Amino acid sequence: MKATAPPAKRRRGPRLAVLALVFCSLLVPIAFLFNRFPAVYVTDERPQQEIDLPSSGRFGFEIGGSVNEDSSNKISRSSKDLHNVIGDHSSSVSTKPKVLPPPKIEQSVLPPPKVEQPKPEVKPVPLPVQQAEGDRVNIRSRRVQNADEVEKAKACQLEFGSYCLWSIEHKEVMRDAVVKRLKDQLFVARSYYPSIAKLKGKEALTRELKQNIQEHERVLSESIVDADLPSFIKKKIERMDQSIARAKSCTVDCNNVDRKLRQILHMTEDEAHFHMKQSAYLYNLGVHTMPKSHHCLNMRLTVEYFKSAPLDPDDSPAHKFNIPEHRHYVILSKNVLASSVVINSTVSSCEDTENVVFHILTDAQNFYAMKHWFARNSYRESAVDVINYEQIIFENFPEFGTQLLYLPEEFRVFISSLERPTEKSRMEYLSVFSHSHFFVPEIFKDLRKVIILDDDVVVQRDLSFLWNLDMGDKVNGAVRFCGLKLGQLRNLLGRTMYDPQSCAWMSGVNVIDLDKWREHNVTENYLQLLRKFGNSDDEASLRAAALPLSLLSFQHLLYPLDERLTLSGLGYDYGIKEEVAQSSTSLHYNGNMKPWLELGIPDYRKYWKRFLARDERFMDECNVSP
Per-residue model confidence as pLDDT tens digits over 288-330: 888 888 889 999 999 999 988 776 655 677 788 989 999 999 9
pLDDT score, position 15 = 65
pTM for this structure? Answer: 0.72
Three-class SS state of 478 = strand
Quick check: 111 and 539 in contact, CB under 8 A?
no
Quick check: 467 and 327 in contact, CB under 8 A?
yes
Q: Which of 408, 375, 451 is nearest to 613 (CA)?
A: 375
pLDDT score, position 78 = 33
Quick check: 567 and 584 in contact, CB under 8 A?
yes
User: Bridge-partner residues for 108, per DSSP?
Assistant: 87
Quick check: 530 and 549 in contact, CB under 8 A?
yes
pLDDT score, position 416 = 62
CA 79 – CA 71 distance, rounded (Å): 18
Range ranked top by mean pLDDT from 144-153, 230-239, 506-515, 610-619: 506-515
Task: State the average pLDDT over residues 480-496.
Answer: 80
Q: Is the pLDDT of residue 13 over 80?
A: no
CA 61 – CA 487 distance, rounded (Å): 12
Helices (H), 229-335: 233-249, 254-287, 292-307
Quick check: 163 and 279 in contact, CB under 8 A?
yes
CA 425 – CA 389 distance, rounded (Å): 40
In percent, how much of the chain has pLDDT > 70? 72
Helix (H) or strand (E) holding 58: none
User: Bridge-partner residues for 291, per DSSP?
Assistant: 40
Q: Please provide the DSSP assignment of 329-381 as one string.
A: EEEE-S-HHHHHHHHHHHHHH-S--TTEEEEEEE-HHHHHHHHHHHHH---TT
What mean pLDDT, rounded, does the chain reach? 76
Taking only the tens place, the pLDDT of each residue in 546-581 is: 888 999 999 889 999 998 899 999 999 888 999 999
Q: Is the pLDDT of residue 95 over 80?
A: no
Query: Which bin fits 508, alpha (ψ -120 to 50), beta or left (φ > 0)?
Result: left
User: How many residues would you count in the chain?
Assistant: 626
Counting beta carbons within 10 angstroms of the beta carbon of residue 535, is it exposed (0 to 12), middle (13 to 18) or buried (19 or more)? buried
Q: Is the pLDDT of residue 589 over 90?
A: yes
110 DSSP 8-state letter = P
Three-class SS state of 387 = strand
Taking only the tens place, the pLDDT of each residue in 423-474 is: 666 778 899 999 999 999 999 999 999 999 999 999 999 999 999 999 999 9
CA 620 – CA 375 distance, rounded (Å): 19
Quick check: 565 and 572 in contact, CB under 8 A?
no
pLDDT score, position 421 = 57
Q: Is the pLDDT of residue 250 over 70?
A: yes
Q: Which residues contact residue 553 at a Cβ distance below 8 angstroms, ignoring those fewer than 6 apart?
A: 438, 522, 525, 526, 529
Per the model's pLDDT, the better-predicted residue between 152 and 465 turns out to be 465
Confidence of residue 118 (pLDDT cuts 50, 70, 90): very low
Which value, in Å, is the radius of gyration of the alpha carbons in the chain?
Answer: 30
Taking only the tens place, the pLDDT of each residue in 203-214 is: 899 999 999 999
In percent, how much of the chain has pLDDT > 90? 34
Per the model's pLDDT, the better-predicted residue between 371 and 318 turns out to be 371
Taking only the tens place, the pLDDT of each residue in 153-200 is: 777 877 888 888 888 887 777 788 888 899 888 888 888 888 888 888
Confidence of residue 590 (pLDDT cuts 50, 70, 90): very high
Quick check: 361 and 434 in contact, CB under 8 A?
no
